[in-house]
C-alpha cells in the first residue's frame, strides 16, 4: 500500500473547475443558487422550493455567505429575520447555473422542482439559452477554444477524500444500472468533474488522464466506469495486448462542456490565486481571452436573471 501514501496522490494541477467545485460542487448548493436566480430570497421559500431539510439549508446558506456568494439582509426585527441575496460573485455564476439547468432538462433531470422552461421577457419567447462569447457574440463550442498555461499554472493539494466517500455512498451514481445521472451528482464529485474537464483539454487515454490529473488509478478506474455506465463517456480499445483504452465524450458528455467551461471561467475570475488563473482560454473566432455570457436562442439578446421568468415543471405524464 506504499503507493497510497505517495504525496502525488494528493496533488492535482491547479484548475479553476476544481476550485469552483469545492465551492459549489454540492447538489444542495446548486439547487439553492438556482432558486436564488429564480427570485427566492427567504429561508422558507428556499425550503419549499428545494425540499431541503432545515439543518441542510441552514448549513448551505451559511456556506454561501462565507464564500461570499450571498449576503444576509434583515427584513424584520421582531423576531429577527433575514433575506438571502446573491452578491456580485454569486450573480456571476449565472451562466454556469443556467447551463447546468439546460443539461438537466435535456438529459432527464428527475428533480420535481426543476422549471421546464425559461421565458425571456424581453422578446416574449421561451429562451433556449446559449453560452456565447462576450466579445464576438458567437456561441462557444468545444473546438473553438484554445487553452494555454496561465500565470497560475502549477500543482495544488487535492482535498478530495471527503467527496470520494460521498460518491461511494451515492448508489445510483456509483451503480451501473443505467439510471440517470444528474449534473449535480456529477459535479458533487470533484474527481468526476476533473475527469470530464480533462476530456476538454484533449486528454483521452487512461495513462494520460492519470498523469494529467495526478489521480490514483483505482479512483480513476471507478470514475471512468461510472461515466461510461451513464453514457457520458464511451470506451474504445486502441491496443489489444495488453488491452488499453481510450475514452471519448458521447453527445451527452459533450453537452456538459458549456457548464464545465462556465464554471472554469467563473473560477478564473473569482477564485484564482494572486498571480492569476491557471489556464488562459482563448476564443479562436475572435482571438480574444474568452468571457462568457448567456444569450437567448430566439432574439440573441443577453439573458440576465431579471429578464427571465420560469415555467414551472408539469406533472409527469
Q: Which residues in this chain contact Zn ion in the complex, by CB under 5 A? A: 120, 123, 133, 135-136, 283, 285-286, 296, 298-299
* Least separation in angstroms between CB 6 and Zn ion: 42
Nearer to Zn ion, 69 or 99 (CB): 99
Going by C-alpha positions, the residue among 226, 264, 259, 244 that lies closest to residue 129 is: 259
Return the C-alpha cell found at 60: 448551505
- The whole-angstrom separation of Cα 317 and Cα 116 is 14
CA distance 116 to 114: 6
Which residue shows C-alpha cell 436564488?
Answer: 36
Rounded to the nearest angstrom, the gap between the alpha carbon of residue 213 and the centroid of all alpha carbons in its chain is: 18
CA dihedral (200, 254, 187, 274) in degrees, to 10, reads: 30
Is the CB of 53 or the CB of 136 nearer to Zn ion? 136
Nearer to Zn ion, 163 or 290 (CB): 290
Contact 245, 261 (CB under 8 A): no
> Measured from the CB of residue 135, what is the shortest distance to Zn ion in angstroms?
5
Nearer to Zn ion by Cβ, of 74 and 124: the residue is 124
Q: How far is the CB of 268 from Zn ion (least distance, A)?
A: 16
Q: What is the number of other CB atoms lying within 10 angstroms of the CB of residue 112?
A: 9
* Cβ closest to Zn ion, residue 72 vs residue 121: 121
Amino acid at each position: 500500500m506504499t503507493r497510497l501514501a505517495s504525496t502525488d496522490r494528493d496533488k492535482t494541477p491547479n484548475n479553476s473547475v476544481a476550485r469552483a467545485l469545492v465551492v459549489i460542487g454540492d447538489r444542495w448548493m446548486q439547487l439553492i443558487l438556482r432558486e436564488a436566480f429564480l427570485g427566492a430570497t427567504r429561508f422558507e421559500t428556499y425550503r419549499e422550493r428545494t425540499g431541503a431539510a432545515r439543518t441542510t439549508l441552514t448549513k448551505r446558506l451559511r456556506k454561501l455567505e462565507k464564500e461570499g456568494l450571498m449576503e444576509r439582509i434583515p427584513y424584520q426585527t421582531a423576531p429577527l429575520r433575514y433575506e438571502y441575496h446573491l452578491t456580485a460573485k454569486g450573480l456571476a455564476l449565472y451562466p454556469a447555473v443556467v447551463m447546468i439547468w439546460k443539461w438537466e432538462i435535456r438529459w432527464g433531470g428527475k428533480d420535481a422542482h426543476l422549471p421546464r422552461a425559461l421565458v425571456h421577457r424581453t422578446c416574449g419567447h421561451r429562451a433556449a439559452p446559449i453560452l456565447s462569447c462576450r466579445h464576438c457574440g458567437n456561441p462557444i463550442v468545444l473546438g473553438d477554444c484554445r487553452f494555454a498555461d496561465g500565470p497560475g499554472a502549477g500543482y495544488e493539494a487535492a482535498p478530495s477524500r471527503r467527496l470520494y466517500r460521498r460518491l461511494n455512498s451515492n448508489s445510483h451514481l456509483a451503480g451501473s444500472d443505467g439510471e440517470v445521472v444528474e449534473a449535480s451528482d456529477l459535479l458533487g464529485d470533484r474527481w468526476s468533474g476533473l475527469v470530464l474537464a480533462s476530456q476538454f483539454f484533449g486528454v483521452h487515454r487512461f495513462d494520460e488522464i492519470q498523469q494529467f490529473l495526478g489521480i490514483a488509478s483505482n479512483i480513476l478506474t471507478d470514475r471512468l466506469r461510472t461515466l461510461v455506465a451513464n453514457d457520458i463517456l464511451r470506451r474504445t480499445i486502441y491496443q489489444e495486448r495488453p488491452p488499453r483504452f481510450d475514452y471519448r465524450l458521447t453527445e451527452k458528455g459533450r453537452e456538459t462542456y458549456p457548464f464545465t467551461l462556465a464554471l472554469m471561467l467563473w473560477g478564473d475570475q473569482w477564485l484564482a490565486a494572486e498571480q492569476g488563473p491557471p489556464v488562459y482560454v482563448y476564443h479562436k473566432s475572435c482571438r480574444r481571452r474568452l468571457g462568457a455570457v448567456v444569450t437567448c436562442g430566439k432574439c440573441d439578446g443577453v439573458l440576465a436573471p431579471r429578464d427571465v421568468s420560469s415555467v414551472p415543471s408539469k406533472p409527469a405524464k
